[in-house]
A and B are shown apart, each in its own frame.
Chain A
């Protein structure tokens, strides 16, 4: 029971991060490998604010603002000049941005891990099993954010414009949609979700270091690909699936092989369905 809930909550952290990967891929048609490091920046923003003022809510707010602005800035400075360039150039740039962020964090905060406690939430009992309150909070926060995002994309003008841009950038421009603005908004939303993921992650593991974002980043990217990159429900399904598998594996003797099993799953799914669980085949238009 507690394994399942912990798994679901880890899964919603992965899902929140995967949403950023999948939205940026769907709309800007690029893999933003610096996305994981946004989480790391968020965690340091929380660390700094907590040590300065100590109000958890302020710290969370600062993290969201910092990450959102950082996401927009990265897109403007690093990716926008490369629009129309070869996908490989954009990919290398994204990896470069990732190392840059890690380097800056190391320069400011050093390479050792720093404890970051936002709130101590404790545990409670359901039947025989102990459930962490933080897991429930993460699960609920994740679910609420995903519902809001889905509503935003399907019900608002900007959301529909995002769908239009992801499907056909040229046709979207002919509607009078400012594609650059939509891409900016996409990075902002993805990074804000990364900040939320960072908060939830710190609920589970209350410490940070410059490479904090690397592993969850890769896992969430895996989740996005498993679910079908570019698909929003796909990212959620992939994230939750990966989180549950990871936690279930860790509670069995297979524990040392957890990561191998996760990436094995990716390989199997890509062999069976190369577009991921909910991925669509896109006709290449000339």
Chain B
């Protein structure tokens, strides 16, 4: 069953059309990747799904409900969230407070406490630095915090926008390990990545986005095997 279904989405920035009618779906339990070059419309697509940008046309159906044009906070309450591009942790708040913000929609205090402890087990570095303000963390630590913060709301669907951007190879591996961990614990994943190699390797299915249109779709394996995709996105 499709957990998320995007149909004929069209997004404009002023007179410029960034998304030219794309349709795709994410099924319950899948990892789906959108790959594409800079400016292809990946981030715009994600922001439209989250209600941060209002699409001109098309529909977004999540869990059987039409969420097109709904305010972001309502969408989050329905069990969907996003780790935004560039991490965007709250730099003036501590690690602990950032995680609390992630649980903003959760009312059960003891559950929040347990969840934070669990995050500290998954990311021991965050536990060590829980009272430190997030602005003083390294890029890798901020990425871990952004991911931990997002998972605090127990999303059914987690979207990650370029989670490996700007990280060292070792950290990139760690990020993908954590995405797999979230997936194994029952979270459906929609991933946007420039690191096509790693993301296709863990994906059930993938879509290639070019100039606001979906040009290729297939399973992660199929796309990795495709000559065309290898040349364009996988470095030969």
Contacts and interface: CB of A to CB of B under 8 A. Distances in A.
A255 B145 CA distance: 55
Q: Specify the main secondary structure of chain B where it touches its partner.
A: loop
B73 A161 contact: no
Contact of B90 (A168, A173, A285): A168
Interface in A138-187: 157, 160-161, 163-164, 167-168, 170-179
Contact of B104 (A161, A163, A285): A161
A177 B73 contact: yes
Nearest to A180: B71
Interface in A242-286: 285
Which size class do A's interface residues fall under?
10 to 19
Given A171-B84, A174-B82, A285-B86, A163 B93 contact: yes
Given A160-B100, A176-B105, A170 B71 contact: no
A179 B73 contact: yes
B50 interface: yes
A175 B102 contact: yes
B156 to A, nearest CB: 14
B178 interface: no
Given A161-B101, A175-B101, A168 B88 contact: yes
Nearest to B47: A170
Contacts of A175: 76, 81, 101-102, 104-105, 149, 153
A167 B97 CA distance: 14
Given A161-B104, A176-B105, A171 B90 contact: yes
Interface string B54-95: 000000000000000001110011000110101011111100
A157 B86 CA distance: 25
A167 B104 contact: no
B52 interface: yes
Contact of A164 (B77, B86, B90): B90
Q: Specify the main secondary structure of chain A where it touches its partner.
A: helix
Contact of B101 (A164, A170, A179, A285): A164
A170 B88 contact: yes
A103 B54 CA distance: 39
B214 to A, nearest CB: 24
B72 A173 contact: yes
B72 A160 contact: no
Nearest to A181: B73
Contacts of B150: 174
Nearest to B77: A176
Given A176-B73, A178-B73, A163 B90 contact: yes
Interface string B35-55: 000000000000000111000
B100 A173 contact: no
Contact of B92 (A161, A163, A173, A176): A163
Contacts of A161: 101, 104
Interface in B89-125: 89-93, 97, 100-102, 104-105
Contacts of A176: 73, 76-77, 81, 104-105, 153
Contacts of A170: 52, 84, 88
A175 to B, nearest CB: 5
Contacts of A167: 90-93
Given A168-B90, A173-B72, A285-B88, 19 more contacts: A157-B100, A157-B104, A160-B101, A163-B92, A163-B93, A164-B90, A164-B93, A170-B84, A174-B52, A174-B72, A174-B81, A174-B84, A175-B76, A175-B81, A175-B104, A175-B105, A175-B149, A177-B73, A177-B104
Closest 3 interchain pairs by CB? A176-B76, A173-B72, A176-B105
